Amino acid sequence: METTAWLVAAAVLAVVLLLILVIRLKFQAFVALLLVSIAFGLATGTPPVELADLVVEKMGGGLGEVALVIGLGSIFGELLRRAGAAERLAATLIDRFPDRHVAWGLGFAGFLVSIAVFIDVAIVVLVPMLYQIARRTKRSLLYYGIPLCAGLSVTHTFIPPTPGPIATAGIMGADMGLVILFGVVCGGVAVVVAGPLFGRFISERVFVPAPAEAEGAAVGGHGRPTGAGGTDDAGNTGGTAGLPEAGAGAGAGEGPALPGFGSVIGALLLPLVLILAGTTGGALLPEGSAAHTALAFIGHPVIALLLTCLYTLWFFGVRRGASAAQLQETATAALAPAGVIILITGAGGVFGGLLVDSGVGEILADAMTSWGIPIVAFGFISSAVIRISQGSGTVAMITGATLTQPLAAQMDVSDPVLALTCIAIASGGTAFSHVNDSGFWMANRYFGMSVADTLKSWTVMKTIVGLTGFAMAMLLSLVVA
């Protein structure tokens, strides 16, 4: 009993230490996770030399698929960003939807754009495109901006191949196809509730005017504020080297034209379709058949992202006149932010592995079973606590998955429930965005709101996304369990 109590206490203290290192002492999350893992290992009696070997082993063991998918997905996303995919998608949907329904189109646009583009970068690119609509209709900018940001938020945190969901699924050992499937279902409902519905509600209570025409003079031909950069929630900035950006300086006739709407939709959906085909083929086709083998191969997340990346390099690079040197430079720039997320994921895997080896997972699994706490709820709560404490959604998801994975291993949950637990973890990492989140300040700046209005709109929207996603995951877990 004494050993059990100490193991649980050590795990709790390790999480507290992690928060102190990240929040108070401003340690990089990767370094903080490694230090906490080592401290926990020593505190629970792992011999120092053996502990060092375990850190190396577990760092590498959980990164194979995750590192490859995040790296390839980052190249894919950067190529689409520089080609102007986000601008084309948003501009076309804005043009095709009448003013009274454009909020729904913007929610859909955000949902698709964030498959490939970091949410903070997408805000920089797309929100200024809404200024003219808001001025024309004399509505609050929130009427259009909240649906767009709800769509961006859902895909950024619920659906691979964005880094957070990939890292979460990798740590949890979940089937990527099922995570995508449930992410679309849960996320689709969350977009509707937190996007057009809440957008209409809050825009009638908080009026945010579009910037004056004079301020729009600093905006390029496709709505990008001149010189503006973007950061993701791990603190990475979008690069500027490599391919010339589509639409850059469009007023002066510079830069390649924006890509076609159909080509953008096709590129965004390609990896999702391939991965889902692999999952569906594995479930429906006879094992060992030629069709089963082919779908399993092209539907493997690594192969699906590799094929997508090669297609994107050709269609949005070579076909549009990019040189080999430009493509290489763009791909290299894309891997810089990917590297940070991969390292944090690996360090999270070290901490989770040590929790499993120590026996904490078995202790907590027994306690949860006796208390009747579903693993889906535990995943949401653990991720939400980290999210509220330190701000980064990506770090919250990785840490939440790290704490939840030992329970999943002990409780022997089914593949669908494991995937839904990933969605719950993502929901916790999305909700409760406030002043310690970089996305909060991006919204504050680009919507031109006060802090109070940002809390009333952005924070509530993100919280609705998280709570709706969690509620859907809980309901579905009762059906598929």
- The chain-wide mean pLDDT, for the chain, equals 85
CA quadruple 91, 93, 97, 99: dihedral sign: negative
Please report the DSSP string for 386-442 in residue order: HHHHH--HHHHHHHHHHHHHHHHHHHT--HHHHHHHHHHHHHHHHS---TTSHHHHH
- Residue 310's pLDDT is 92
Instruction: Tell me the chain's radius of gyration from C-alpha atoms.
Output: 22
Q: Residue 64 has what DSSP assignment?
A: H
Tens of pLDDT, residues 113-172: 888 888 888 888 888 888 888 888 889 999 999 999 999 999 999 998 888 899 999 989
Sign of CA dihedral 167, 170, 173, 175: positive
End-to-end CA distance of the chain, in Å?
32
Q: Is the pLDDT of residue 218 over 90?
A: no
Domain extent, residue 418, equals 2-480
Please report, to the nearest 10 degrees, the dihedral formed by the alpha carbons of residues 81, 275, 411, 187 taken in order. 50
Q: Taking the CB of residue 12, how many other CB atoms lie within 10 A of it? A: 11
Domain tally for the chain? Answer: 1
- The DSSP bridge partners found for residue 225 are 219
Output the six-digit token pair for 141: 């900018």
Q: Which long-range contacts (CB under 8 A, 24 or more apart) does 450-455 make?
A: 453/206, 453/208
Give tens-digit pLDDT for 160-217: 888 889 999 998 989 999 999 999 999 999 999 999 999 999 999 999 998 875 444 3
Burial of 164 (0-12, 13-18, 19+ CB in 10 A): buried
pLDDT tens track for 4-45: 788 888 888 998 998 899 888 888 888 999 999 999 999 988
Span of 73-87, 106-120, 223-237 with lowest mean pLDDT? 223-237
The predicted pLDDT at position 2 comes to: 53
The proportion of the chain whose per-residue pLDDT surpasses 70, expressed as a percent, equals 90
More confident residue, 417 or 259: 417
**Residue 254 — very low, low, confident or very high, per pLDDT cuts 50/70/90?**
low
Distance (Å, rounded) from C-alpha 229 to C-alpha 227?
6
Q: How far apart are CA 161 and CA 141, in angstroms?
A: 30
Q: What is the pLDDT of residue 367?
A: 78
Of 179, 180, 125, which Cα lies nearest the Cα of 148? Answer: 125
pLDDT value of position 153: 94
Segment 53-66 mean pLDDT: 80
Residue 239: predicted pLDDT: 44
- Contact (CB, 8 A) for 174 and 420: no
Q: How confident is the model at residue 242 (pLDDT cuts 50, 70, 90)?
A: low
In single-letter form, the type of residue at position 310 comes to L
| pLDDT for res 163 | 85
278-294: average pLDDT: 86
Cα atoms in the Cβ-side hemisphere of radius 13 Å centred on 202: 25
For position 255, what pLDDT does the model report?
A: 58
Could you write out the DSSP letters of every residue in 354-375?
A: HHHHHTHHHHHHHHHHHHT--H
What's the pLDDT score for residue 189? Answer: 97
Residue type, 35: L
Tally of residues, the chain: 481
Over residues 321-358, the pLDDT tens digits come to 888 888 889 888 888 878 888 888 888 888 888 888 88
d(CA 66, CA 422): 15
Residues 6+ apart with CB under 8 A from 441: 435
pLDDT confidence of 251, banded at 50, 70, 90?
very low
Confidence band for 366, pLDDT divided at 50, 70 and 90: confident
* Mean pLDDT value of segment 375-380: 94
Rounded-to-integer distance, Cα 202 and Cα 209, Å: 13
Rounded Cα gap, residues 53 and 455, in angstroms: 46
What is the C-alpha separation between 42 and 415, in angstroms, rounded? 33
Contact between 140 and 206 under an 8 Å Cβ cutoff? The reply is: yes
In whole angstroms, what is the distance from residue 34 CA to residue 16 CA? 14
> What pLDDT score does 244 carry?
65
Region of poorest pLDDT, from 144-158, 374-388, 404-418: 404-418
Q: Which amino acid is at 134?
A: A
* pLDDT attached to residue 230: 40
Instruction: Give pLDDT, residue 340.
Output: 84
Q: State the Cα torsion 234-240-243-248 to the nearest 10°.
A: 110
Higher pLDDT, 238 or 194: 194
Name which of 378, 383, 146 is nearest 154 in CA terms. Answer: 146
Q: What is the pTM of this model?
A: 0.84
Do you find a cis peptide bond into 161, omega within 30 degrees of 0?
yes
Q: 460, 440, 463: which is closest to 231 by C-alpha?
A: 440
